[in-house]
Structures are given as structure tokens and as C-alpha cells.
Copies of this chain bind each other. A is one copy, B any other.
Amino acid sequence: MSGWLDEIRWTADGLVPVVAQEAGSGQVLMVAWMNREALALTAEEGYAVYWSRSRGRLWRKGEASGHRQKVLEIRLDCDEDVVLLKVEQAGGIACHTGRHHCFYRVLKDGRWETVEPVLKSPDSIYGA
């Protein structure tokens, strides 16, 4: 039952970029990466498991913060090289900065302007 994993065109590093979109709001929450094991676990457990490139290990989203992502749907694009998840975001916070989502900066007049509030301080999320 893992043939569906073989259809994905993994990068040379064995990864695929994953877009997490909030099911209710349609908001794009974040983009992260998965390897084969992470995607298999995501499908199996029903919660998003990513591959942390910086830490070089599996990363169960919310393992430290509690902000897990319940996965309602897993989609694949036409080139088989991008995955889209429809998720429910626990705590309403996807971003490690304590914001609802990671795309909180907008290009305005030639600079990036922060337009989304911090809902919870990272210190209180992760411990100071």
C-alpha cells in the first residue's frame, strides 16, 4: 500500500515541499518539507509529520508547542513534486513566531512589512 509514495518525484535529497493550508479559512499556513517516512507517517497518524532540514530529523509538528496539524486531506500536484495538506491547526498558531501563519510579511513600497500580530509569545509557547 506504499505505491502512492513511489509516484512522488522526490528531490535528490529525498524530500518534497509540502504546503499546509487551513481547511476552514483557506489560509496558507506554512510550507515545509517531508521525506518518504514523514509523509508515510502523516498519512498513517493523521497528523502532519515533517522533515526538519535544520535539525536533520523527523519533526512531528506541535511536538514542542502542542500546535499539531490534523490532516483532513493530502493532495498531489500535476508534476508529482509538491504535496498540499488541508489541515486543522491546533491553537490557531502555525508559526514558531506565535502567529497564525508564517506568511506575515507583505511587500509594500519595496520593503517587507509585518501585517500579522503575534498571538502568543514564543517564550510562552516553547518555554523561556
* Chain A contacts to B: CB under 8 angstroms: 1-4, 7, 17, 19, 21, 25-28, 30-31, 43, 73-79, 82, 84, 95-97, 99, 102-107, 110-112
**Listed residue (A43, A78, A96) with the most chain B CB atoms within 10 angstroms of its CB:** A78
Q: How far is the CA of A64 from the CA of B77 in the complex (A)?
A: 20
CB distance from A99 to the nearest CB of B (A): 8
The answer to whether A84 and B107 touch across the interface, beta carbons within 8 angstroms, is no
A102→B77 contact, CB < 8 A: yes
**A96: B residues at CB distance < 8 A:** 78
> A110 and B1 in contact (CB under 8 A), knowing A17-B17, A31-B17?
yes
Number of copies: 2
CA distance A71 to B100 in the complex (A): 23
Take A17-B17, A19-B31, A107-B43 as given contacts and tell me if A4 and B76 are in contact as well, using a CB distance cutoff of 8 Å. Answer: no
Residues in B whose Cβ lies below 8 Å from that of A78? 95-97, 99, 102, 104
Given the interface contacts A82-B31, A84-B28, does A107 sit within 8 Å of B19 by beta carbon?
no
- Bound together, the chains give a CA A95 to CA B17 distance in angstroms of 18
Most buried by B among A82, A99, A103: A103
**Bound-state Cα–Cα, A111 to B75, Å:** 11
